Amino acid sequence: MARPETLLHPGPDGLYSPIGDFHIDPVRPVQRALITHGHSDHARAGHGHVLATQETLDIMRLRYGEDFAGSVQAARYGERLSINGVSVSFHPAGHVLGSAQIALESGGLRIVASGDYKRGRDRTATAFEPIACDVFITEATFALPVFHHPDPALEITRLLTSLRQFPERSHLVGAYALGKAQRVIALLRDAGYAEPIYLHGALIKLCDYYTACGIDLGDLRPATLEDGRSDHLQGAVIVGPPSAFADRWARRFSDPLACFASGWMMVRQRAKQRGVELPLVISDHCDWPELTQTIRDISPAEVWVTHGREEALVRWCELNGFAAKPLHLVGYEDEGD
């Protein structure tokens, strides 16, 4: 069996397959890119050719325009494709709509690059599927033992309780535009909240796309003023990107109550720094128990750890009998946390 690095290895532009002559989630424009999902730190414009799921291609088109790549090709989950003799297949990652793990096979060796993934239930994304492999490349966003995320449904219950306690206050929920915003809305609907939910303009296209894909998000309306007044938004849920909370948009609402949906809301200092009154610990990444259980479920010969708290997870692997190493890739943030 060939050494894994001959099939895939880290480089200045990201993960590169010298046999297949392609990159996975490259951080700079390349000739051939395989994209795991639509978050901007993984899906960048300017590549010569992009291979991704249809949903990821559609999301990139919405974010970057029609000419985001020279050419594109859609991959279906489970479909096997050959690129310069390397067998490539995409498998559900559970992170956001259209997100995928990418499996590469050559010379009897299989490597799975997970991209970003989560194991929790989420009706806005196809559930993660463990794929048997020799090398599993895992993210490490929340790879510290302190991170045990609560049930998202319980966090939504806290938001609904606050709505009842402060019926005169608009509840501004900060949520990333792709994945997190739609998941929070779906969780509210699943908890029985049937009132209109108001959206910052930056979320409308993506929410419309989720709806077009058959994901029911209920009554969504633009968070616009009526005759210069926001009275109709008192007691309402308003969802916007976290960046909007620092500008004039947030100040148009009377006595708003600032919420933020993120796995990082477990860290009280982060919530305090952002001025978050109601932190909601809802993550689209695995927490520590899910990361370690996933490695046990797959039981690969080797684990490569990337973008996050790499050293702690590498150490856990070594203590539990898995060969492991950090990749030290740069250019990947936590947009979808």
Query: pLDDT by residue for the chain (337 residues), tens digit each?
Result: 679 999 999 999 999 999 999 999 999 999 999 999 999 999 999 999 999 999 999 999 999 999 999 999 999 999 999 999 999 999 999 999 999 999 999 999 999 999 999 999 999 999 999 999 999 999 999 999 999 999 999 999 999 999 999 999 999 999 999 999 999 999 999 999 999 999 999 999 999 999 999 999 999 999 987 666 777 888 899 999 998 887 778 888 878 999 999 999 999 888 888 889 999 999 999 999 999 999 999 999 999 999 888 999 999 999 999 999 999 887 776 655 7
Q: What's the one-letter identity of residue 81?
A: L
Q: What is the pLDDT at residue 232?
A: 82
pLDDT at 227: 60
Encoded tokens for 278: 């109601």
> Tell me, what amino acid is at 141?
T
Output the pLDDT for position 78: 98
